[in-house]
Structure 1
Amino acid sequence: HTETAFLQEHRLRFRATATGVAHAILASWDVSDPYRRQVMSTHPNDTRHNFPRDMQWGQALQLLEDTTDGLELPQPRPLRVTEGESLTLVVRYARDGVNFQ
């Protein structure tokens, strides 16, 4: 992909709930009718042992690493967080609305 392929960006601020290593971010989505009578969801609690999730629609998983020293390191470094630390998740959406990073 090229830089111009991802035009929309969303930033979500949150706080670490515990001290430790943040290994990954798990993203899920749901779509519903206006009254939420019919819902299609990929949330882990909604999709256990669910055939469509296993075959087609699953969650998105983004592994995390510490890049504060730049991206030139020979190996990724674990992203260590402290309880209460303010963090920002940046999501970039593709023009086609299908892909994000």
Structure 2
Amino acid sequence: MLRVLLLVVFLAPLVVFALSNPMEQDIWFFFLGWKLAIGTLALGVGLIGAIIGFVVGWIGEFRQRSRARRSEQQVRSLESQLIDLHQRLDRLQQTPTTAVSASDKG
């Protein structure tokens, strides 16, 4: 939701600028030249910048999710080890009491 809000806040002034500047101008980029409205150029550059920003953010989010999945898997593994250790400890604590009670009977 925040991303959509940021996109609207970022692109709304560009749309207003594009609609306010409909006159075509000669645009040169190195050796390429064409006639284009300055507002359309600004809107196109803004859209390309927003798309690149979202792709970079998505890649970072993907990496973070991958790390989170690995961490959750490690936590599950450690929890199962902890349960096993608690069970071993319970068995070890029960063993001497049964051995002592058996020796008291005999």
With the shorter chain as reference, the TM-score category is: under 0.3
Structure possessing the higher radius of gyration over alpha carbons: 2
Task: Write 1 or 2 for the structure with the bigger share of strand.
Answer: 1
Greater relative contact order (Cα < 8 A, sep 6+) = 1
Task: Write 1 or 2 for the structure with the bigger share of helix.
Answer: 2
